[in-house]
Chains A and B, each alone.
Chain A
């Protein structure tokens, strides 16, 4: 594989992660990460939608007018999401019920439209496909990491199978119910972003404003 293609495929995982670097697609990352199985299915769904939408949009990129391009992109994305949702309802019914609206909400996932608008509209089909897959993998890696922490420490299970002996049944493990609540994912993603940016300093954004301290108010 050419180095350029490799870069497009692997960069979204650590260097340009859609969640950790660009803070996109946070909503579903909070909602579907209480268990690893839902996170896995969601990750696969988003990756499939991303890869197909980037490919399809790149295919017609030279024939879409500037004024209607967002409408066309959203139509394609929505179609793919409906297809994924229908397939999940047919073949993974239990998990699709647990994912509930969040599969449908992939339409509004900023990562998908973001890649379509900023990448697929200006690049050839092959590399657009790789970009879609790469960003899907970037999204998936954060989702799976968060879900892994939340499920193991929040319920003491892994993929639904008991991992630690819970205290209720005479074991040692006390599940932390806080990890099953949506705010915990915020903290985990926050810690993840902090860690990543401490390691890869290049991702640190310049501050847009300074938080006003007490001394600035002249109260001290």
Chain B
């Protein structure tokens, strides 16, 4: 009824501003209009914003991939490289088809008790206490073949948590690169892990031997090429023992049974069905 409506508005207009009723009604009206505006904008603009975020994440991973040492040659040999992300269940190594890997934060999930498991102290060589149930794996693809497995890794160094990516070649057993995008190790000493000379040593190192034992590690000093260990060992950095130990431990952790081990076992048996006959 328009006449009654008008009457209400009229009454409201004549009410003193400081009366409780009018204060409440005016505040309610203002907040309702504001809420409507904010929610409309949020809903309407969401798809556009998400598209930007998605593109940015893709660029970020491709950017990291392109910074991996020695990757240019590899990228050069791959025609039309494409990046795909998968979410995997770490314990079983299963790919979770329904999960979205793109916005999965490994470190954030590890801090949530419902999304992570506590590690037995003996197995927690990376010094991370808890580990997420799932992890994202980024695959550099050419057509339908995986050329590179890019695994996010992290662990304790000397002064900080090292965060980076470990890239494995298509066999899932050869290191293509190791790089850290964030750490706060001692400048000039621990930061030598960022030097290209040292990082490039990782390229081509084998993760496991024929019997499937985890062999990759950092040696205390220099490893002679003639040594049988040479295929699995990276030289340590003099003076940065704690940092390099941290790197070795986190690499071994994430490649081991509590890390991507189960997933990589699946990758290896798929890559060489005859060698890994046992299911």
Contact B49 A90 (CB under 8 A): yes
- Could you give 27 example pairs across A and B, Cβ below 8 Å? A62-B17, A63-B12, A63-B13, A63-B17, A64-B17, A65-B17, A65-B26, A66-B17, A67-B23, A72-B26, A72-B27, A75-B31, A75-B34, A76-B30, A79-B34, A79-B37, A79-B38, A82-B38, A82-B41, A83-B38, A86-B41, A87-B41, A90-B49, A90-B52, A91-B48, A93-B49, A93-B56
Q: Tell me the residues in window 104-129 of chain B with beta carbons closer than 8 Å to chain A beta carbons.
A: none
- Per a CB cutoff under 8 Å, which of A71, A83, A89 touches B37? A83
Q: Does B11 contact A (CB under 8 A)?
A: no
Q: Kindly state the separation between the CA atoms of A91 and B52 in the bound complex, as whole angstroms.
A: 9
Chain A hits for B49, CB < 8 A: 86, 89-90, 93
Which B positions have Cβ atoms within 8 angstroms of A? 12-13, 17-19, 22-23, 26-27, 30-31, 34, 37-38, 41-42, 45, 48-49, 52, 56
Q: Kindly state the separation between the CA atoms of A63 and B13 in the bound complex, as whole angstroms.
A: 7
Q: Tell me the residues in window 63-102 of chain A with beta carbons closer than 8 Å to chain B beta carbons.
A: 63-68, 71-72, 75-76, 78-79, 82-83, 86-87, 89-91, 93
Chain A hits for B26, CB < 8 A: 60, 63-65, 68, 72
Closest to B33 in A: A79
Chain B hits for A86, CB < 8 A: 41-42, 45, 49
Q: Kindly state the separation between the CA atoms of A67 and B19 in the bound complex, as whole angstroms.
A: 10
Contact B48 A83 (CB under 8 A): no
Chain B: minimal CB distance from A122 (Å): 14
Since A64-B26, A72-B26, A90-B45 are in contact, a sample of 10 more A-B pairs with Cβ atoms closer than 8 Å, ordered by chain A residue number, is: A62-B17, A63-B26, A64-B17, A65-B23, A67-B23, A68-B26, A76-B30, A82-B41, A83-B37, A87-B41
Chain B hits for A68, CB < 8 A: 23, 26-27
Say yes or no: A71-B27 contact (C-beta < 8 A), given A65-B17, A66-B18, A79-B34.
yes
Chain B hits for A62, CB < 8 A: 17
Chain A hits for B37, CB < 8 A: 79, 83
Contact B41 A93 (CB under 8 A): no
Chain A hits for B56, CB < 8 A: 93
Chain B hits for A66, CB < 8 A: 17-18
Q: Kindly state the separation between the CA atoms of A71 and B27 in the bound complex, as whole angstroms.
A: 9
Say yes or no: A87-B45 contact (C-beta < 8 A), given A63-B26, A79-B37.
yes
Chain B: minimal CB distance from A95 (Å): 12
Query: What 8 A-B pairs come out closest when comparing CB atoms?
Result: A79-B34, A93-B52, A90-B48, A90-B45, A65-B23, A65-B18, A86-B41, A65-B17
Chain B hits for A93, CB < 8 A: 49, 52, 56
Contact A63 B27 (CB under 8 A): no
Chain B hits for A76, CB < 8 A: 30, 34
Contact A72 B30 (CB under 8 A): yes
Chain A hits for B18, CB < 8 A: 65-67
Chain B hits for A82, CB < 8 A: 38, 41
Chain A hits for B22, CB < 8 A: 63, 65
Chain A: minimal CB distance from B121 (Å): 39
Closest to B29 in A: A60
Contact A83 B41 (CB under 8 A): yes
Chain A: minimal CB distance from B32 (Å): 11
Q: Tell me the residues in window 25-64 of chain A with beta carbons closer than 8 Å to chain B beta carbons.
A: 60, 62-64
- Per a CB cutoff under 8 Å, which of B13, B19, B30, B45 touches A75? B30
Q: Kindly state the separation between the CA atoms of A65 and B12 in the bound complex, as whole angstroms.
A: 13
Q: Kindly state the separation between the CA atoms of A129 and B211 in the bound complex, as whole angstroms.
A: 78
Q: Kindly state the separation between the CA atoms of A92 and B34 in the bound complex, as whole angstroms.
A: 23
Q: Kindly state the separation between the CA atoms of A93 and B55 in the bound complex, as whole angstroms.
A: 11
Chain B: minimal CB distance from A99 (Å): 14
Chain A hits for B12, CB < 8 A: 63
- Per a CB cutoff under 8 Å, which of A64, A67, A89 touches B52? A89
Chain A hits for B17, CB < 8 A: 62-66
Chain B: minimal CB distance from A101 (Å): 17
Chain A: minimal CB distance from B70 (Å): 27
Chain B hits for A60, CB < 8 A: 26, 30
Chain B hits for A83, CB < 8 A: 37-38, 41
Q: Kindly state the separation between the CA atoms of A92 and B48 in the bound complex, as whole angstroms.
A: 11
